[in-house]
Structure 1
Amino acid sequence: MRKIGLTGGIGAGKSAVSQLLASYGAVLVDSDLLAREVVAPGTPGLAAVVEEFGPGVLGPDGALDRPALGAIVFADPARLQALNAIVHPLVRARSAELEAAAAPDAVVVHDVPLLAENGLAPLYDRVIVVDASEQVRLDRLVRLRGMAEQEARARMAAQATREQRLAVADFVVANNGSLAELEQQVKAVWEQLTA
């Protein structure tokens, strides 16, 4: 089994790259999806988040109100650290379960937004960084995700710098252009991973 870390700043296009890799045959372990799974209603993870941040982070349906929690943690690095201390161990445990279930010859791609921030590069055989300019990322967050520019800039600032991400990269996929250009680069990386 080859264990690949995939990361990129918010708005860089990491999801598009992970979908392409999965279409080529990679087993995808998506940390964002797992982070939602481990704080779903009824889970110990959600109970721990509510204990730490109060009932104001719950919506009327009893599910986590992500925008309310985001407003707290993205404005205060200490609060973000408290949230990560709850969620990250749960995500790591679930990732390990999914990896253990993969075939022995699989290429397992771990989609990890905070790979560089959390010093996780040594856990992987190779690291792929999806890179896009700050302006392209900002435009995607505002135009495609409907974020206010100030919120988008705050989320970007809360992550590793572009230089920090590139420093851990074995492969860099530049995503400032078209989907066809992206596909071409991802296919080339896949061919190297499976050679």
Structure 2
Amino acid sequence: MTATFSLGLTGGIGSGKTTIANIFGELGATLIDTDLIAHQLTLPGGVAIAAIQAQFGSSFLTMDGAMNRVAMRELVFSDPVQKSRLESILHPLIRQETERAASIASGDYPIFVVPLLVESGNWKTRVSRILVVDCDEEVQIQRVMSRNDLSRQQVVAIMQNQVSRQQRLAAADDVIVNEGSIAEIREAVTALHRHYLSLAGKKN
């Protein structure tokens, strides 16, 4: 990465990664969201569309030429081989785009928001520090059930496809427990932002 200091931000589904990331963004960090990048790559005319069509067929595209997310999710969720095929298309493109975004970042320091940061394996060597957004697993389940209108069984299945809470915490340099009020969370983020500014050689 081109920046002298960079942060990898991750957390399980429903942990509140987006809320935390947005506060860092308000304070002056540049957010580079790999989920957003993946979404852009698979929109109509996106860079990944031709390879997805070649590998999976037109039935995995929508009428307007985007990746059919519902069909693809069902396929890769149940078949690790198909999941690997999709990742072999998307991951190099995501990496290329994240590096491009980092090279033109103008904020205090770049934050790479990566839901599957620990699962991906190589992020530990690509960023200066890893921040994990953590909360009780029951809190995660309730948040996702409410937000995405999913059953408990569906949410638990998604969580079981991610690394465990313990594995995620073991990879962390820093942790924010996202169970308090928004004021408490903002205070915690602000304190970490000041610390990261000093690591980036910036004035507080």
Q: TM-score, normalised by structure 2?
A: 0.89
CA distance, structure 2, for counterparts of residue 86 and residue 186 of structure 1: 34
- Larger displacement relative to structure 2 (149-158 or 126-135): 149-158
Equivalent AA in structure 2 for residue 113 of structure 1 = P
| Aligned-partner SS, 2:14 | coil
Secondary structure of the equivalent of 2:118?
coil
* SS in structure 2 of the partner of residue 128 of structure 1: strand
Partner residue, 1:169 = 172
Gaps of 5+ in 1: none
- Displacement of 1:46 in angstroms is 1.4
Alignment partners' CA distance in 1, 2:16 and 2:131: 12
Match 2:118 to one of 116, 119, 127: 116
Provide structure 2 residue ranges, at least 5 long, that are not aligned to the other structure. Answer: 199-204
The Cα offsets for residues 5-44 of structure 1, whole Å up to 9 and x where unpaired, read as: 0011111110111101000000110101000111221234
Matches within 5 A, 1:97-112: 97-103=100-106, 106-112=108-114
Mapping for residues 65-144 of structure 1, pairs under 5 Å: 65-103=68-106, 106-119=108-121, 120-144=123-147
Contact 1:74 1:154 in 2 (8 A): no
1:131, 1:26 → 2: CA distance?
Answer: 20
* Number of aligned residue pairs: 194
Question: What corresponds to 2:57 in structure 1?
Answer: 54
Q: Equivalents in 2 of 1:66, 1:178: separation in Å?
A: 34
Q: Does 1:153 align with 2:156?
A: yes
Moved beyond 4 Å, runs of 4+: none
Amino acid at match of 2:197: T
| Structure-2 residue corresponding to 1:34 | 37
| CA RMSD, Structure 1 to Structure 2 (Å) | 1.5
